[in-house]
Amino acid sequence: MITPRSISVTALVALFLTGVSPLVTSAASAQTVADIAARGACSTAGIEGISAQLAEAQSCTHPGAFVRFAPYPNITLTSSRVYAFVQASARDAIQAAADRTPLQITSAFRTVADQYVLYNSGGCGLAATPGTSNHQSGRAIDVSNHAAAQSALEAQGCVWLGSSDPVHFDCPGMDLRSDAIRAFQHLWNVNNPGDPIAEDGAYGPITNARLAGSPAAGFADSGCGCMPGCDGDSIVMEDCSRVACGAGDACRAGACVFAGCAGGAVSVCVDASTFGSCVMGDLGMTTTCAAGCVEDADGAHCAAAPDLDAGALDDGGVLDDGGSSADAGVDPGAAHGGCGCRLAPAEAPSGASSLLLLLLGLAWRRAVPRRDR
């Protein structure tokens, strides 16, 4: 629960999660997170920039995990700056409870930077230490009309924290508190390669000190890897979800392409017997090579079938009546996958060959019975 002396909680993280870039006030541009907390107000105004980056980074850890629970009938956000995002399971519970009893919600999702400011400001009645609040998991809500709403929320699996924090309910969902911490640790390391800290999801003195000294307006690099495009061999979608490219493919410019063409090759061997042309960085037309596909200094191409010796037959078969090979001069394009390989025409039989043919012919004539005339 937060008991504010003056309520001013920003909702720009929620706007960021819907794809709208946050606006950062110039007053916060030169301030640190600790500077914002030192104002002594129970407010996170001024850390919109870093909170948006942390929300983005945490969303990358579990793409699609955070969803809107409002607007919804019977749910009232007591401030336009309430971050109306929770895990899907918590959303279902909250909306089902609202079907029975109106809910007046004063707080929902928070980043670890929000929690740091609220805890260290001294202006809030109750605020958990950074890294320990279930608000960072997207499964906790604070409800101002908690007495009236308690029965409906508990019926949906939300747990009332008790009289020590009467407005607070933990609803069904995963414990993602360590992810909220890890999101900051990663963000810090991306922007401070000379001063790395452990990305272990544990909130200790080192993480606390780095968070305190972080720019309230946000870092130069969001560190999320959620920009639409490629992350390794996966396509990164606008909602931070990832689609892995298939075996043998690579991600280029936000699309899966044949890996062999991704580096700018003009032609490739798709496999041992298939030649392919690369068109605009992806695989175009392919051809099956009878003698196999090879890659050399000239690029990929079908291997040429070796020329046969003059007068030799590729199958040891019978010469036709004209004394030439039955396939002499035939273009093998259709039978050999389009490769430019042509058999050499057979030469006319030599004198020895002619004598052999004459003897074979006489033997054949004797073996064939003559018809009655």
Average pLDDT by consecutive 10-residue portion of the chain (373 residues)?
A: 35 38 43 95 88 85 84 91 88 97 95 94 87 94 97 98 93 93 92 94 96 94 68 70 81 85 84 88 87 87 73 42 40 38 44 51 47 43
pLDDT at 362: 47
The dihedral region occupied by 111, where left means phi > 0, alpha psi between -120 and 50, and beta the remainder, is: beta
pLDDT at 243: 82
The CATH number, out of the four listed (3.40.50, 3.30.160, 3.30.1380, 1.10.287), of the domain defined by the range 12-212:
3.30.1380
Q: Cα torsion at 183, 185, 141, 33 (round to 10°)?
A: -120
Per the confidence metrics, is the pTM higher than 0.75? no
pLDDT at 225: 53
pLDDT at 26: 40
| Secondary structure in 3-state letters for 62-123 | CCCCEEECCCCCCEEECCCCCCCEEEHHHHHHHHHHHCCCCEEEEECCCCHHHHHHHHHCCC
Q: Cα torsion at 29, 30, 32, 34 (round to 10°)?
A: -110
pLDDT at 307: 64
> How much is the mean pLDDT over the chain?
77
Q: Are strands 267-271 and 282-288 parallel, antiparallel or unpaired?
A: unpaired
Q: Which residues contact 311 (CB under 8 A, 6 or more apart)?
A: 346, 347, 349, 353
Please calculate the CA angle 293-336-287 and round it to the nearest 5 degrees: 50
pLDDT at 56: 84
pLDDT at 231: 67
C-beta of residue 123 within 8 angstroms of C-beta of residue 4? yes
**Spatial separation of the C-alpha atoms in residues 77 and 3, rounded to whole Å:** 16
